[in-house]
């Protein structure tokens, strides 16, 4: 990072992913070596030593910023804290479990720059998940899209690129990280999608089960639907002076 500051902020929520972190930080650094970037790692109350690992990695990676939450608050809170701290004009999000491939970060950023969209959402191809997890994901995706009038192929994919101005002052409620493209569109933004790679989980186990993927998706989608229906829509015809 130069004195000019980062042009790109990579925001990562971290919850008990200690083994993955050294590989993740190294892969992001290699993928973005030609850019001015920062990595904003938000530790969401990890209990496995993830915070200590992040602190140790700061010595070798000057682009790494570590934001520890006082207690476990959930993925949406971690994203919100990361977005608030991000200094770049472009914000990229991805998971800490190495299933998102950091080499795809330039892909989503290039699509953001070339398309003029407010958000580029990745959709995972050749997914390396269990059949049961894939079924849950498809159901949750269908529920969200059906209730919110959307056609986003993979709402559960964390690898996304945002124009920072498009996500400033968005309403943050628990579970809303899954609906960020929809919330951006609610404010007049545009969304495009690109395929991204998906890798097998190398360490640990998923932190989210059926409740998070399907039942919570239904409840949260209803909340977003309420916001869509109650959003103010008006245009000023003219201003008389």
> Of 61, 120, 47, 45, nearest to 90 (Cα)?
120
> Of 114, 112, 217, nearest to 166 (Cα)?
112
pTM for the predicted model, two decimal places: 0.84
Which domains are present in the chain? 8-127+154-205 (3.90.550.10)
What stretches of 133-239 adopt beta strand conformation (E)? 160-163, 191-196
> Tens digit of pLDDT per residue, the chain (241 long)?
555 789 999 999 999 999 999 999 999 999 999 899 999 999 999 999 999 999 999 999 999 999 999 999 999 999 999 999 999 999 999 999 999 999 999 999 999 999 999 999 999 887 766 776 666 667 676 667 677 777 787 878 899 999 999 998 888 888 888 889 988 998 889 999 999 998 888 887 766 554 555 677 777 788 778 888 877 777 788 888 8
Residue 44 CA to residue 81 CA, distance in Å, equals 10
């Amino acid at each position: 990072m130069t004195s000019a500051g980062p042009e790109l902020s990579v925001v990562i929520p971290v919850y008990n992913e200690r083994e993955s972190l050294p590989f993740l930080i190294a892969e992001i650094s290699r993928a973005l070596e030609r850019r001015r970037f920062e990595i904003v790692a938000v530790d969401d109350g990890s209990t496995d030593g993830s915070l200590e690992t992040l602190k140790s990695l700061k010595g070798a990676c000057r682009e790494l910023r570590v934001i520890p939450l006082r207690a476990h608050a959930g993925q949406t809170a971690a994203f919100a804290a990361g977005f608030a701290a991000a200094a770049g004009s472009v914000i990229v999000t991805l998971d800490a479990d190495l299933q998102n491939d950091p080499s795809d970060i330039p892909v989503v950023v290039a699509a953001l720059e070339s398309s003029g969209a407010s958000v580029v959402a990745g959709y995972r191809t050749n997914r390396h998940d269990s059949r049961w997890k894939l079924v849950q994901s498809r159901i949750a995706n269908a529920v969200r899209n059906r209730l919110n009038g959307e056609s986003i192929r993979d709402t559960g994919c964390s690898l996304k690129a945002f124009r920072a101005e498009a996500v400033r002052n968005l309403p943050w409620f628990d579970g809303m990280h899954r609906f960020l493209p929809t919330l951006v569109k609610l404010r007049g933004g545009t969304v495009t999608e690109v395929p991204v790679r998906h890798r097998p989980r190398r360490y640990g186990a998923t932190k989210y089960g059926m409740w998070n993927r399907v039942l919570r998706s239904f409840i949260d989608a209803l909340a977003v639907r309420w916001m869509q229906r109650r959003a103010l829509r008006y245009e000023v015809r003219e201003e008389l002076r």
